[in-house]
Amino acid sequence: MTGGAGYIGSVTVAHLLADGFSVAVYDRLLYSGESLLAHASHPRFSLTAGDVRDTRRVAAAMAGADAVVHLAAIVGEPACSVDDEASWSINVDGAASVLDAATRTGVPRLLFVSTCSNYGLSNPDVIADEDSPLRPLSRYAEAKVAAERLVLHAEGGPATTVLRFGTICGLSARMRFDLLVSEMARAAVHGTTIELYTPDAWRPFLHVRDAARAIAAWAVAPPDMIAGRVYNVVGENYQKRGLAELVRKHFPATPIQITDRAPDLRDYRVSGKRIEQVLGFRTTRTVEDAFVETAAAIAEGCFRNPAWSGHSAVPPDPRILRRTTAV
């Protein structure tokens, strides 16, 4: 698994190990590898530090694997805009490199984890499905669309699948507080004002544990159900206004300010029906579960500093993004 030390990756590694899988993580450890230390002595776990664009090293790390899960990326517009060129190279050339390595080593299946952000601004009265047009509104989403295409159109290599996840929420050993639900939980616990722009905009969300369950379900799905397929994975669609109501339900005193500043034009609802119908996969956790568990962890003092810049997708040392060799 590439990107296994990340927000989604570290929860997925724990889930797969508990399910009986062996997991080899390949990660540049941009945000450290502390999220994986609990597995260091696990007999079915291994870790290789390296860059996804270093094809030979990736290939060596995946030798003998039954499946590759490609999660490694520079995630979201704020992180990508720190170094647009390097981020594009990691997000697109990196995907090509992982695909190339999987082809060379004969790995039978490869999963590319993508995002529902690819649908971009859509008619909020229509629920986007996998056949809806993609309208990426950021360089990050443009890179994800480009990488999806090259992975899905590859020939002569592994069976490839794209899972488009909603915005992730919930607790992880590599915690991110730059995502809507965790940001709101932090503000609610600290009693700071939540600024809500475009309150009527819809967003699809997915609990991080359901993301891990979806990856595990893909790993054992029959080949004809995954080859060349795209599936959305969405728990619930929420209007930001609805999230504000959720905050008020649990933290009635939270100041919420609705502003007309609109730094993000995304407004979309997404259907997760196809994965339910074809793979029988259903989500089990709600946005409210994620909000409540995150707020409780903050209130109990689990984080030294939830406002620490390392709890975001912006790499602490962006200079290393241009170096493709291992650390």
Ligand X SMILES: NC(=O)c1ccc[n+]([C@@H]2O[C@H](COP(=O)([O-])OP(=O)(O)OC[C@H]3O[C@@H](n4cnc5c(N)ncnc54)[C@H](O)[C@@H]3O)[C@@H](O)[C@H]2O)c1
DSSP code per residue over 20-67? T--EEEEE--TT-SGGGGGGTT-TTEEEEE--TT-HHHHHHHHTT-SE
Task: Report the residue from 29, 146, 225, 297 that binds ligand X according to the rule CB under 6 A.
Answer: 29
Within 102-161, which residues bind ligand X (CB under 6 A)?
Answer: 113, 115
Is 75 a binding residue for ligand X by CB under 6 A? The answer is yes
Selected range binding ligand X among 22-30, 119-127, 239-247, 250-258, rule: CB under 6 A: 22-30
Beta strands in the chain (DSSP E): 23-27, 45-49, 67-70, 109-115, 127-128, 159-165, 167-169, 194-197, 202-207, 229-233, 236-239, 256-259, 269-270
Residue nearest to ligand X (CB): 6
Report how many residues bind ligand X under the rule CB under 6 A: 30
Is 314 a binding residue for ligand X by CB under 6 A? The answer is no
* Least distance to ligand X, CB of residue 117, Å: 7
- For 96, other C-beta atoms within 10 Å of its C-beta total 18
Q: Which is nearer to ligand X, 216 or 258 (CB)?
A: 216
Is 90 a binding residue for ligand X by CB under 6 A? The answer is yes
Is 31 a binding residue for ligand X by CB under 6 A? The answer is yes
Selected range binding ligand X among 13-21, 72-80, 103-111, 286-294, rule: CB under 6 A: 72-80
165: Cβ–Cβ under 8 A, 6 or more apart, which residues?
8, 113, 114, 115, 116, 206, 211, 214, 233, 234
Within 226-255, which residues bind ligand X (CB under 6 A)?
Answer: none
> How far does CA 107 lie from the centroid of its chain?
23
Is 23 a binding residue for ligand X by CB under 6 A? The answer is no
Give the C-alpha separation, 38 to 204, whole Å. 31
Task: Report the residue from 57, 109, 174, 203 that binds ligand X according to the rule CB under 6 A.
Answer: 174
Is 201 a binding residue for ligand X by CB under 6 A? The answer is no
Is 94 a binding residue for ligand X by CB under 6 A? The answer is yes
